[in-house]
Amino acid sequence: MTVIDANRMHEIEARYPEYFHRSFRQRFGGLMIVIATLLYALYAVWFFDLPKLFAEAHWERVGIYLSQWVSYDVQPEFRIQDDGTIAVRYPRFSPLGDNPHPDWVVNNPDGSITVAVSGATRVVTVSKSETIVTAHGVSVPVDVSSGAPKVVGPVPAWMTVYDDNVLADLGFAGDVSISVDRVKIRKRFLGWANFVFDTQSSFFDKPVGEVISLIVSGPRIKPDQSNLSLAFDDIWNNSEWQHGDVWTKLFQTIVMAFLGTLLGALAAFPLAFMAARNITPNRLLNQILKRFFDFLRSVDMLIWALFLTRAFGPGPLAGSGAIFLTETGTLGKLYSEGLENIDNKPREGIQSTGAQTVLVHRYGIMPQIVPVIVSQTLYQWESNVRGATIIGAVGAGGIGLKLWEAMRTNANWENVAYMVILILIVVFLFDAASNTLRHRLMGGRTH
């Protein structure tokens, strides 16, 4: 074990003072960062009033919306007539078609009707004098023979009594609304109803095997059109899911992103050479172009879309223009900064040979800047596919507008899920394509 005397210790301290006499920032810098982060977090909690926000949030709607993304409901209504009979009615645009006879609605010999909302565990029996709701292991009768519905016996927690009706919440399976003269049942099914063929299609409610047989070798349903063509028309023009319109709007979104990014790159490329200080030694021109790029990209794409929709009307032209203006500013800044960071030695070497300016740029600058241009342009193209969806919601065309229309109804959440899934697939595909192109053009290797 080596012993260091006092003189040797003082000599080491004098030689390496940074290790023995640390500044206040070095000693407490990490602690100060932690304290500042905690203080900022507390300020954010106070500024946004997060406790009140979380207390007043409608968290139950999350489950409702998510369930509607992956399911659909059928809403039969049972009306008690003056003669004591019960008439069953379905909404005009019921997923079951114009003349439904589901097997979960059973007419009993005594005139009552039994509805299996969820198998044998959640059942509703409707008669002229009472409605019996069976759920959660108990059967609760509701008397409808007097002026207002009345629950016979104790009221369970899943049932709510109002002045003129009784509401029974059966969870994901659905709900029941009971009044004196009618009972309305909401029965929920997993899946998307009539996703392939709507209720007006000649192939509606036919088994898959029968549909395939009709398409392959069956007799023509319409004499002037093959069954294959008819099936495609029915799918493309599905009135409930609007596949044709959705896919057309999705293609518009892709075209908007591609066209806007392409035009932005073409405009930004020559301007970047004039904005780069080492390429164009004109300080005034450099500053004017750089401030021009700042202006274009400081106005958000969504704001540009709002301006252009007012100028040209709603449609993909406004969306492409908004992307073009934003990308001109963004790519112009990225290209010019890339040009200012190149190694000037290859350029100076070619200049020394007396080559023309075009050749100097071609062989002295482009080999260095191409990887930056390719990488940034492909990334912006990929990002603009997502951005084009957002600006579509303000009238710039594409699937964003279609998505916003479906959300505004607050009822077509399965259509919203359909379009969201399509957008995700497109984004994933473009991300993969962008990465592949980037690696190939830059001489890399895909992972």
| pLDDT digit string, tens, across residues 77-130 | 999 888 888 999 998 888 888 888 898 999 999 889 999 998 888 999 999 889
H or E element, residue 431: helix 413-441
* Mean pLDDT of the 201-213 span: 90
pLDDT above 70 for 9:
no
**Of 295, 301, 361, nearest in space to 332 by CA:** 295
In the prediction, which pLDDT does 246 show?
A: 93
In this predicted structure, the answer to whether residue 60 has a pLDDT above a threshold of 80 is no
Would the CA dihedral through 118, 123, 126, 130 be positive or negative?
A: negative
Assign 3-class secondary structure to 141-172.
EEECCCCCCEECCCCCCCEEECCCCEEEECHH
Question: For 143, left (φ over 0), alpha (ψ -120 to 50), or beta?
Answer: beta
Mean pLDDT within 230-241:
92
pLDDT band at 247 (very low <50, low <70, confident <90, very high): very high
Report which of 394, 397, 122 is spatially closest to residue 259, judged by C-alpha positions: 397
- Rounded Cα–Cα distance for residues 221 and 297 (Å): 57
Is pLDDT of 387 > 70?
A: yes
Domain boundaries, the chain: 20-57, 74-190, 243-441
- Position 163 pLDDT exceeds 70: yes
Average pLDDT on 396-423 reads 86
For residues 305-324, give the mean pLDDT. 88
Give the pLDDT band (50/70/90) at residue 447.
Answer: very low
| Distance (Å) of CA 399 to CA 60, 152, 236, 300, 418 | 28, 52, 16, 20, 11
Residue 295 has pLDDT above 90, yes or no: yes
Distance of CA 35 to the CA centre of its chain: 37
E strand or H helix at 178: strand 174-178
Q: One-letter amino acid identity for 145?
A: S
Q: Which two tokens stand for residue 11?
A: 């000599």
Residue 445 pLDDT greater than 50, yes or no: no
Predicted pLDDT of residue 361: 78
Domain 243-441 falls in which CATH fold? MetI-like fold (1.10.3720)
Percentage of residues in the chain having pLDDT higher than 70:
93
| Extended beta strands in 215-364, E state | none
19-49 pLDDT tens trace? 666 667 767 778 899 999 999 999 999 998 8
For 241-381, where are the E strands, in sequence order? none
CA pair distance 14, 300, nearest whole angstrom:
56
